[in-house]
Structure 1
Amino acid sequence: MSSIGLDPVLLRHGNYTLAMDVTLGSSVLSLDWTAPDGRSHALLVPSVADSVPFKTGCFVMAPFANRIADGSFPFDGRTIHFPVNRPAENNAIHGLSRNRKWVLAESTASCLSTRDECRDAASGYDYDLTQTIEIDASGVNFSLTITNRSAKKLPFGLGYHPWFTRTPKARLSFRADTSFTRSERGLPEVACDSAEIYDFSAPVALGSMRWLDAHFANWSPRAAVLDLPEMAVRITLSAAGCLGNLQVFAPDDRAVVCIEPVSHVPNVCNRPAFARFGDLTVLDLGESLSGSMRIAASQLESSQTSSTGDPNA
């Protein structure tokens, strides 16, 4: 794994400033927003030179998102193997591209495109992955397109893994019909009605929440709202394309929350019964899969810093 690059690429437009390390997985190192009151806020937990990579900022997950049990699964008469990079759980996690050196395809003051041409002999995955990030006046758009370059058809998935600040009074809300119980290895076990185990349809206080690592399907509308009353900031994350599921991670040892739009249920390649809740997409040579995420900030009014209604209404 490489260290964070010394010369990040900077994008600026309006009240947003974003820094990227193209050489390390095309990862976002920081995303800052200047509020109407003139104060600057870090929307993502920023990466610095001595931080642990991938536990700050935002990274790309491809050609699969989250976990695969034992790093392997059967497909089309053969077994596909990925590196078991979470040995304590015996899982492969977060794909290949976050560890790879990408190249900068094009860049302007407010937009850039990066590219990963992955030819992985161990797994048999050959693909081109393009990320485009564009800042407009009201937010930041992130988009991914992955194209199969293998002569054999292969299943693909995508996702984004942003790390947001979790203040003591932070509140999160979104709507999803389905959630899953979780095994000790972090794998989905049983599909349930979200209201039975993780109900975020009304804002949920995150400040004192114990460890949470939960997957959600039938996320509709595809919008999650994170209120940070101490900063008077509301962050709205939305998604489109293949990113129809959501993973939420809030550890009990760090003041962060990850709100991750993804294309499929973790380990669905080994749990075909979960395919109806979000499956990998099989691509033939030259076929592509695309998804997008948007992050936008706004200032909370004084009446919203102490309480809020359902922002998804």
Structure 2
Amino acid sequence: MTLELSRGSFRLVVDPDLGGAILRAHWRYMDGRDVAIFEPSEPTFDPFGNGCYALVPFANRIADGRFSFEGRDYELPINRPQENVAIHGFAYERPWEVARATSNSVSLFQRFAESDNPYEYEAWQEISLLDEGLQIEVSVRNAGDRAMPFGLGIHPWFARSPGTTLAFLSQGTFEQDTRNLPLPKLRQVAAFNPDHPVRMEDVPVIDGCFANWTPLHARIVRPQEGVVFEITAGGALRHLHVFVPDNRNVFCAEPVSHVPDVVNRPEFGPAHAMDVLQPGEVLSGAMTLRAKIHSSVGG
């Protein structure tokens, strides 16, 4: 079952059964064209490729699906066997319930408790259309009986159409080991700085977390289509993970709360760590995307 939301010139399709994902989001441009905000997707058996979805209860990878916390060893299901990692949590692979729906917003709920998984949680998504775009709010509550490390993220796919650029400010990205997992050595890069926006078609592949994304703002310009997407994040989503795959003409700019595999890497310190939630505690984050007409368009 899919839900269609609309407000002004914006439309989107959400599939609660398919990980609560946004399959399509469009902006009706001033000349009547429908501009895809996220890379459109159809219902598939590979939820990783869906247009935009929530990452709960952690973002990105946990190496070998294992970690130790407060004297206990934990194992998670491996959902990317080719890399032997648990990736992006569990919420995007499982259905969500519709708690409330209007013509321009939907509230989704997911209760997670499985016998082979140490996590128990309740998660909420609030997906709303705005006058100028959309907002996604994600929250998770520790529904278990012990403290656990939690994280969040939002995973939008964007088209790498010709000339598309991405720009944001950060302290840099981390060096990586042979498994493309981060090392606690920050590498400052001029690329992606607003003074040096990166043409995404020139990026063959990248999979890196950018630390201390400040302010929590990114700008995607698609000059061929005459549009600009302004992304802002809030709450726990203090880092930006950028991913360009080698097999699709797309990229991700993912607001996330923590560094990949940081639960196994205490040397990163609290600024990059997952949040420890006591039973009943809640972690929340949000992403807002506003669509604008590019300055190159006359008027």
State the TM-score, normalizing by the size of structure 1.
Answer: 0.91
Distance across 1 between alignment mates of 2:243 and 2:270: 23
- CA separation of 1:210 and 1:158: change in aligned 2, threshold 3 A: same
Partner of 2:16: 22
Q: Structure 1 runs of 4+ off > 6 angstroms? A: none
- CA separation of 1:234 and 1:137: change in aligned 2, threshold 3 A: same
2:40 aligned residue (43, 46, 56): 46
Distance across 1 between alignment mates of 2:111 and 2:220: 34
- CA separation of 1:110 and 1:181: change in aligned 2, threshold 3 A: same
- Write the deviation string for residues 261-299 of structure 1: whole angstroms up to 9, x where unpaired: 000000000001113442111111111000000111111
Distance across 2 between alignment mates of 1:249 and 1:148: 29
Q: Does 1:200 align with 2:167?
A: no
Structure 2: state its 5+ residue gaps.
Answer: none
- Write the deviation string for residues 38-90 of structure 1: whole angstroms up to 9, x where unpaired: 32101111112458432130111110000011101000111121111222221
Distance across 2 between alignment mates of 1:191 and 1:171: 26
What is the number of equivalent residue pairs in this alignment?
297
Report 1:100-249 matches (<5 A): 100-195=94-189, 198-201=191-194, 202-249=196-243
Please state how far the C-alpha of 1:246 moved relative to its aligned partner: 0.6
Distance across 2 between alignment mates of 1:89 and 1:234: 35
1:195 aligned counterpart, secondary structure:
coil
**What value does the CA root-mean-square deviation take over the aligned residues?**
1.6
Q: Is the 8 A contact 2:59 2:152 kept in 1?
A: yes
Partner of 1:68: 62
What is the identity, as a one-letter code, of the residue corresponding to 1:63?
Answer: P
Partner of 1:284: 278
Q: Is the 8 A contact 2:258 2:272 kept in 1?
A: yes
State the TM-score, normalizing by the size of structure 2.
Answer: 0.95
Please state how far the C-alpha of 1:143 moved relative to its aligned partner: 0.3
Distance across 2 between alignment mates of 1:112 and 1:71: 32
- Write the deviation string for residues 182-238 of structure 1: whole angstroms up to 9, x where unpaired: 233221124224227x55342111112111111111101111111111111111111
Q: Does 1:97 align with 2:91?
A: yes
State the identity %. Answer: 38
Q: Is the 8 A contact 1:24 1:101 kept in 2?
A: yes
Partner of 2:293: 299
2:92 aligned counterpart, secondary structure:
helix
Partner of 2:257: 263
Distance across 1 between alignment mates of 2:233 and 2:6: 22
